[in-house]
Amino acid sequence: MISPRSVPTRSTDASFTGRFVAHESLILGAICLADMVSTAWLLQRGAAVEANAILRFYVELGIGWFIAAKTLLFVGPITVLELLRRRRPIFIARLLQTAIAGYVLVYVVMVARVNA
């Protein structure tokens, strides 16, 4: 988690609002990308199944459809949050931090559950 010192204290904090993309957005995007790449690789090898019912539909259509759907489902929301960050930087920073923690938690729980 980001230390309290790295979260801006005012919505006018130039070090936060001046960045093109928040560090939290980059971290969340990297986590999602790593999840997508590792899942696609495991699916291609027949070593995994997609646990998400919505994405499983796209896996059945083909790996390209899966990658397109997965990319849209994480790039879209991150883009919207980045646009909103200019108006509510502190709220969006905390929301992104919560999303990072939640994604990692759900990923670990699901991997443990599938492999149990």
Helix (H, G, I), strand (E, B) or coil at 89: helix
Task: Sketch the domain layout of the chain as residue ranges.
Answer: 20-114
pTM: 0.80
Task: Give one word for 62, left, alpha or beta, with left for phi > 0 and alpha for psi -120 to 50.
Answer: left
What integer pLDDT is reported at residue 62 of this predicted model?
Answer: 96
Helix (H, G, I), strand (E, B) or coil at 41: helix
Per-residue pLDDT of the chain (116 residues; tens, 9 = 90+): 555 555 555 444 444 556 789 999 999 999 999 999 999 999 999 988 888 899 999 999 999 999 999 999 999 999 999 999 999 999 999 999 999 999 999 989 988 887 87
